[in-house]
Amino acid sequence: MFLNIFSPYKLIFTVQRECRVCLGAPAAWATLATSLLATFSGMTYGQQVDTKKNATSSQRSQPTVVVSQRALDLHRRSFIFDGHNDLPWMIRQKGSRTFEKLDIARPQPELHTDIARLRQGGVGAQFWSVYVPSKTAYDGTAHQMTLEQIEIVKAMVQKYPSVFEMAYTSQDVTRIRAAGRIASLVGVEGGHAIDNSLDKLRRLFQLGARYMTLTHSDSLDWADSSGDKAKNQGLSEFGREVVREMNRLGMLVDISHVSPETMQDALDTSEAPVIFSHSSARAIADHPRNVPDAILKQMPADGGVVMVNFYSGFVVPESARRSRILAEQGRELRLKFGEDADGMKKALAVLDAQHPMLPGSVYDVADHVDHIVKIAGIDHVGIGGDYDGIDVVPRQIEDVSKYPVLTQVLLDRGYSETDLEKLFNKNILRVMDASEKVAAKLSK
Ligand SMILES: [Zn+2]
């Protein structure tokens, strides 16, 4: 079990992580709220719910998936190229650049990620997120901290050279994978990392960043987030300039986390296909972090890819509703209680008891893949698990060793091996190729 509510270490650990998905609440409130949420979500974690007629997805019977030889063979032949893993932030929080305190060559059961489980899960390429909190935008530390996070990714690759190698192009990925190593790419999570400066954007590219999520949970001067009030009704003129500069550089425009208006403006502005590095389908689970059908429908014309996020709060319909309600009402409670921490604590406990977090299962994740395939097509879906950036994970897909379980569910639902290879890596590699071509053309 991932969450152990009796372990103070794990509770603190969870608080830090949950802050990542709490939709931009100021840290003090988030810490208080998330410690409560973690406690309650931990309680529901192992809960079994009977099959019911007309049951919602998370209440369905969830038989244990047995991974077949066919699925394992497919993973041996092909590889997972995941769009988003937050291990670098965990290393910053729990370990150090020397990896002595947190050696991922050894089992790290309190994390979702370590080397043995990456291997078991068939991960051949990974965008490592160099996330830094949105609040760093306000004290001027965002860019510097992002540079430090890039250093952590590079230190990891250096520390374990037989396992990882830095990748900067789609060809690098293919070559490194053929050599049996895990191609390691850098993805910047949030445009606050550039401090409103195109120079700093170019610097991030030079240091290896190959995508940038335009926002995290706070709206920027130039781009609106799905987790905050609109400032620009999408992208500002400078925001469009950022997208054009990313096209020139060959940095993928990632529109996870942004508002639907920003998604649309990015689609309209970007010459290269866009990506969602870790987002699921809004029609299945109604949460602002997910992608609306109106955007999914444009993916064939755009050529981009939506890489499905596994967070229970985004994939399980009831849990998405709960996350939304807690975020909305949490803001109101914050205004009401101000510095009254006790009052806030009680109000949040009531709110949480009314809306428990259901972890769901691998079947919920498969529902999102199905929906994206139905609306956007099999050429526009990928995987962006968000491991080590989330605190509640669906059953049977609890860590990076479990991708084959999702593969099995999709094989059982009739996906061909050719389809699954597109989901695993071919779609995102195609998008990288297209982006590299656009950059080459624009730099002539
Ligand atoms: Zn994220």
pLDDT tens for 227-274 read 999 999 999 999 999 999 999 999 999 999 999 999 999 999 999 999
How many domains in the chain?
2
Distance of alpha carbon 150 from alpha carbon 131, whole angstroms: 9
Q: For residue 341, is it within any domain?
A: yes
Catalytic residues: 84, 86, 189, 216, 257, 278, 386
How close is the Cα of 443 to the center of ligand 1, in Å? 31
**Residue 51 placed within a domain:** no
Based on the fold, state whether residues 230 and 321 are members of the same structural domain.
no
Cα 115 to middle of ligand 1, angstroms: 22
Say how many Å lie between the CA of residue 68 and the centre of ligand 1.
32
**Helix/strand/coil (H/E/C) assignment for every residue in the chain:** CCCCCCCHHHHHHHHHHHHHHCCCCCHHHHHHHHHHHHHHHHHHCCCCCCCCCCCCHHHCCCCCCCCCHHHHHHHHHCCEEEEEECHHHHHHHHCCCCCCCCCCCCCCCCCCCCHHHHHHCCEEEEEEECCCCHHHHCCCCHHHHHHHHHHHHHHHHHHCCCCEEECCCHHHHHHHHHCCCEEEEEEEECHHHHCCCHHHHHHHHHCCEEEEECCCCCCCCCECECCCCCCCCCECHHHHHHHHHHHHHCCEEECCCECHHHHHHHHHHCCCCCEECCCCECCCCCCCCCECHHHHCCHHHHCCEEEECCCHHHHCHHHHHHHHHHHHHHHHHHHHHCCCHHHHHHHHHHHHHHCCCCCCEHHHHHHHHHHHHHHCCHHHEEECCCECCCCCCCECCCCCCCHHHHHHHHHHCCCCHHHHHHHHHHHHHHHHHHHHHHHHHHCC
Tell me, yes or no, whether 53 lies in a domain: no
Residues 287 and 338 placed together within one structural domain of the fold? no
Q: Which residues contact 133 (CB under 8 A, 6 or more apart)?
A: 19, 27, 216
Six-digit token string for 233:
């009704």
**Alpha-carbon distance 309 to 282, whole Å?**
12
pLDDT at 90: 95
127 with 249, same domain: the answer is yes
Residue 162 within a domain: yes
What number of other Cβ atoms are within 10 A of residue 90's Cβ? 24
Other CB atoms within 10 Å distance of the CB of residue 214: 30
- Tens digits of residue pLDDT in 63-107: 999 999 999 999 999 999 999 999 999 999 998 888 988 999 999
Question: Is residue 401 a contact partner of residue 75, using CB atoms and an 8 Å limit?
Answer: no
Kindly state whether residues 280 and 324 are assigned to the same domain.
no
Q: In this structure, is residue 180 part of a structural domain?
A: yes
Q: Domain check: are 142 and 78 in the same one? A: yes
Q: How confident is the model at residue 57, as a pLDDT?
A: 53
d(CA 386, CA 176): 23
Burial 227-254 (b: 16+ CB within 10 A, else e): bbeebbebbbeebbebbbbbbbbbbbbb
Boundary-marking domain end, from 331, 357, 383? 357
Domain termination site, one of 357, 389, 422: 357
Residue 298 lies in a domain: yes
270: left (phi over 0), alpha (psi -120 to 50) or beta: beta
In this structure, the answer to whether residues 260 and 365 fall within a common structural domain is yes
* Residue 147 and residue 35 share a domain: no
Same domain, 287 and 351: no
Among the candidates 357, 386, 421, a domain finishes at: 357
CA–centroid distance, 371 to ligand 1, in Å, is 21
Contacts of 197 (CB under 8 A, 6+ apart): 143
Looking at the structure, tell me whether residues 399 and 276 fall in a common domain: yes
Distance 53 CA to ligand 1 centre (A): 35
- Looking up residue 381, the CATH number of its domain turns out to be 3.20.20.140
Distance CA 87, CA 164 (A): 14
Domain presence at residue 206: yes
* Distance from the alpha carbon of residue 323 to the mean position of ligand 1, in angstroms: 15
Distance 267 CA to ligand 1 centre (A): 19
Give the residues of the chain that fall short of pLDDT 50. Answer: 1-55
φ, ψ at 93 (rounded to 5°): -75, -40
Q: How much is the pLDDT for 61?
A: 61
Cα dihedral sign for 108, 109, 113, 119?
Answer: positive
Task: Looking at the structure, tell me whether residues 17 and 84 fall in a common domain.
Answer: no
Give yes or no: residues 34 and 21 share one domain. Answer: yes
Q: Which domain covers residue 378, as residue numbers?
A: 63-316+358-442
Do the domain assignments include residue 54? no
pLDDT score, position 333: 86
The closest alpha carbon to 388, from 35, 13, 66, belongs to 13
Same domain, 300 and 202: yes
Rounded Cα distance between 130 and 149, Å, is 5
Question: What pLDDT was estimated at residue 58?
Answer: 52
Cross-strand partners of 189: 213
